[in-house]
Amino acid sequence: MPSIQRLRRRPDFLAAASGRRYHTERMTAQGRVREPDEMRDGGPAEGIYLGFTITKRVGHATERNRIRRRLRGAVAAVGDDAPRGPADVVLVARRPALDAAFDTLVDDLRRALKAVTKPRGPKDTPEGRRGSPGAAAPGARPRTGAHVPRQPNPGKIKP
């Protein structure tokens, strides 16, 4: 079974950002489930590809590098428990990841990977949606043209 590999190209990071999200105080996980026939680096893309984003707002370079090393360690600790499906995941670190307990980071990562790599259900596929993306739910009132403000009730006007 393939291990967790690195996400390297910007288009892959952007594609993951358009998928599901999972937020904790220490990080945000963004992920998408890949199509089964997707290729990566000249071969079939198998397993999870993981990338890190740690912005300058988090801290100076040594702090960002420390956070990156801690997250890599958490990924190594999760390794065998990670979902096996084909997915691209980006972890966006926040400042509290610097001082958080390592076990907390590992637990956050486990939950985040499960949340963003869930297989698509019938509601997530275009065939499962009813109408266009902006369509109203079944039984909802149809939308009319422009908004018409309500007129006050003449019997209850206060001076």
For 133-155, what is the mean pLDDT?
A: 59
- Give long-range contacts, CB 8 A cutoff, 24+ apart: 126-129: none
- Tens digit of pLDDT for each residue in 1-44? 457 889 999 999 999 999 999 999 999 999 999 887 888 877 78
Q: Is the pTM of this model over 0.75?
A: no
For the chain, counts of helices (H) and of strands (E): 3, 7
Q: Which domains does the chain have, with CATH numbers?
A: 5-116 (3.30.230.10)
- For the stretch 75-103, pLDDT in tens is 999 988 888 888 899 999 999 999 999 99
Q: Are 58 and 67 in contact (CB under 8 A)?
A: yes
- Could you tell me how far CA 106 lies from the centroid of its own chain? 17
Average pLDDT rounded to a whole number, residues 114-121: 83
